[in-house]
Homo-oligomer: A and B are copies of this chain.
Amino acid sequence: MLSVEEARARILAPLRPTPAEVVSLAVAFGRVSAEPIVARRTQPPCDVSAMDGFALHAVDGRMGARLTVIGSAPAGHPFAGRVGPGETVRVFTGSVMPDGADAVLPQEDAKDEGSRIVIGEAVRDGQHVRRAGQDFSEGVALAPAGKRLTARDIGLAAAANHPWIAVHRAPRVAILATGDEIALPGEALPPGGIVSSNAHALGALVRAGGGEVTLLPIVRDDAAAIAEAAEAARGMDLLVTTGGASVGQFDLVQAGLERLGFVLDFWKIAMRPGKPLIAGRVGAVPILGLPGNPVSAMVCAILFLLPAVARLTGQEGETLASEEARLGAAVAANDGRADHLRARLSRDGAGRLVVTAFPRQDSSLMRLLAEADALIVRPPHAPALPADAAVPVIRLDRLGI
């Protein structure tokens, strides 16, 4: 059996980031930069006031001195003249510093006599002045390529004068649910059938990761129909199947896909929930075949599909970070398969993160998966651990899924 890490590396290896497209800054939030975002201007563009107050020569700023107010420079309306000795100009936060002035007296330190002010607090050279380029200079990279852009990055790109951003095109991910026993929500069910849920949960997860979803119609357990559906995925960046990956049903999916002339890998992965997984490629389209069991499908999706989507969107680095938490209750020794215990998070009195596995871990329990805040990762052959021991957790709340 493959390890989780080895399986993930083999799934990710052939995936290439999608090419770039140009989008308006207004819709670039959450997209992944395809090239560095380089400052097109210097910020601030010139020395500006950091306060509402009075711009002056610092040498004039003696306690009790009187200065003549020769003008005002609201933001956006720079003072045209020059501040001479004994003179001052009214300024506001962000006002361009008038020529000749080198410091700002805060308004609360000035006694305003209309055309003159009296200085109430001695002035230091350069005080309350923001220097040109203090935030960034033209030509500097403000965000690297391969970064999923935050709201703050969007603000920074705006400030650097970018109306457009080059981002990786959202990967197109087709999702195919197979099985004679499933039907879409609200549709008539076959006898003893169940409602198809995986495709919808996986679709949401792909969207959370920045992909675009095409939900293919459900395919019956029939090799020809499976081949036809896989054909429909040509041009996609990834085809995800669910169902047909258990030992008994695998032959059918393999038979269907082999009609297209391509060889698929079938792996057993040393993990729980989940185990069987299909990986491969039909033509140019990578395929990831997840189990049909909803909890197994979702855990496999978190471990393999989410990183795959991240890779396709062009994101660099580790995208599935685990954190450490203290066990709220003891856990048993683990066997040879990495386990992913559905668990709740809380905080102890010292504010530390505490994780407590649900007593029931049956992989048929969707409801407990939905209620879980985290998965406790138990490596193969991990020893039994008492309460309060540190364990790695995958925080489902952080993944937004």
Contacts and interface: CB of A to CB of B under 8 A. Distances in A.
A191 interface: yes
Interface stretch (A60-68, A112-120, A196-204, A260-268): A196-204
Contact of A163 (B184, B352, B353): B184
B76 A192 contact: yes
Nearest to A77: B180
A156 B192 contact: no
Given A45-B192, A76-B181, A156 B52 contact: no
Interface in A365-392: 365-367, 369-370, 372, 390, 392
Number of copies of chain A assembled together: 2
A150 B260 CA distance: 36
Given A46-B192, A292-B93, A367 B136 contact: yes
A193 interface: yes
A328 to B, nearest CB: 17
A19 interface: no
A396 interface: yes
7 contacts: A94-B292, A134-B365, A135-B367, A154-B200, A158-B196, A159-B366, A161-B195
A303 interface: no
A246 interface: yes
Closest 5 CB pairs of A and B: A155-B201, A76-B181, A76-B180, A324-B351, A163-B186
A152 B29 contact: no
B396 A398 contact: no
A388 B220 CA distance: 59
B207 A29 contact: yes
A293 interface: yes
Contacts of A101: none
Interface of A: 25-26, 29-30, 41, 43-46, 48, 50, 52, 74-78, 92-96, 107, 130, 134-136, 142-143, 150-164, 179-182, 184-186, 190-198, 200-205, 207-208, 215, 221, 246-249, 292-294, 298, 323-324, 347, 350-353, 362, 364-367, 369-370, 372, 390, 392, 396-398, 400-401
Contacts of A193: 45, 76
Contacts of A401: 150-152
Given A52-B248, A364-B50, A185 B163 contact: yes
B185 A162 contact: yes
A52 B247 contact: yes
B366 A134 contact: no
B45 A194 contact: yes
B185 A155 contact: no
Given A155-B370, A156-B197, A134 B364 contact: yes
A150 B370 CA distance: 8
Nearest to A28: B204
A107 B152 CA distance: 56
Contacts of A364: 44, 50, 130, 134-135
B208 A151 contact: yes
Nearest to A184: B163
A389 to B, nearest CB: 12
A390 to B, nearest CB: 6
A370 B152 contact: yes
Contact of A155 (B45, B200, B397): B200
B362 A294 contact: no
Given A43-B194, A107-B248, 20 more contacts: A30-B204, A43-B366, A45-B193, A76-B181, A76-B190, A76-B191, A76-B192, A77-B180, A78-B191, A93-B248, A107-B247, A150-B396, A151-B401, A152-B366, A154-B200, A155-B366, A158-B185, A158-B195, A159-B294, A163-B186
